[in-house]
Amino acid sequence: MQNILFPILAVVLGYLVVIILKPKQPKHLKLLLAFSGAFLLSVTVFDFLPEVFSMQNKRIGLFIMIGILFQIILEFFSKGAEHGHVHLHKTSTHFPWLLFISLSIHSILEGIPIEAHNNLLYGIIIHKLPIAIILTTFFITSSLGKTKSIIFLILFALMTPLGVFLSKNFSFFDTYYYEISALVIGIFLHISTTILFESNEGHKFNFTKLMTIIAAVILAYFI
């Protein structure tokens, strides 16, 4: 049940943070992004990669590379929203379908391996929180409208649980579990490393960011 509920709560929490606290310090958000990127990368390396590579099959490496390339393609349509960028026209009143579809595909895929990896759930939650904050902040200042914005966030929140549901109820995902997992690993590797190198001005590591990343790695290792 937590695999369904917690990803939704992460988006809800991100929405409430913006509505209630109205954060105005981009530095804090960048640190949260850095923490989420380091945590997601660490969970992937510590827990996810060893299981997939236990197959000792070169095809697994191929699917990881396909995952990286697939995420790059998705970001062509989402404009990098998966790692903290929203590049849409604030004056547009049209529902951002390309952004929604690309984020949905990403979210469904990340939900598929959750049942087999409890720690991965925490990585996804921490990843979703800053993304929800960024999306909510953008929607509030855009001309999209409150109704469309809320519909977007609700549907976005449901996509990862949908991936969990599909993995539990369709044998296809059991049959190709390792291939799909490798695909998701590639997606996570691309997103997490991009976050780490883009979450600071000038792509430079300062001390606070370095400590944030180290804390995320240590936490991921011990959970």
| Contact between 37 and 189 (Cβ < 8 Å) | no
Helix (H, G, I), strand (E, B) or coil at 90: coil
Place of tokens 């792509």: 203
Query: What helix, strand, coil percent values describe the chain, rounded to 5?
Result: 80, 0, 20
| 141, HSE (Cβ side, Cα atoms, 13 Å) | 13
Q: Which residue has the tokens 């925490």?
A: 122
pLDDT at 201: 56
Helix 58-78 crosses helix 97-111 at what angle (to 10 degrees)?
A: 150
The C-alpha atoms of residue 20 and residue 60 are separated, in whole angstroms, by: 44
Low pLDDT (below 50) residues in the chain: none
- What gap in Å lies between CA 134 and CA 174, rounded to an integer? 34
Task: Return the pLDDT at 157.
Answer: 94
- Judged by phi (left if over 0) then psi (alpha if -120 to 50, else beta), residue 117 lies in beta
How many Cα atoms within 13 Å fall on the side-chain side of residue 184? 30
Distance in angstroms (rounded) separating the CA atoms of residues 46 and 221: 7
In this structure, the number of other CB atoms found within 10 A of the CB of residue 21 comes to: 9
Tell me the C-alpha distance between 101 and 84, whole Å.
17
Comparing CA positions, the residue from 57, 48, 65, 35 lying closest to residue 112 is 48
Alpha helices in 17-96 (DSSP H): 26-43, 49-53, 58-78
Domain ranges of the chain: 2-10+27-222
Residues 6+ apart with CB under 8 A from 68: 186, 187, 189, 190
Q: What is the pLDDT of residues 138-149, one digit of tens each?
A: 888 887 888 988
Confidence at residue 161, expressed as pLDDT on a 0 to 100 scale: 94
pLDDT at 42: 93
Burial class from Cβ neighbours inside 10 Å (0-12, 13-18, 19+) for residue 62 reads middle
pTM over 0.75: yes
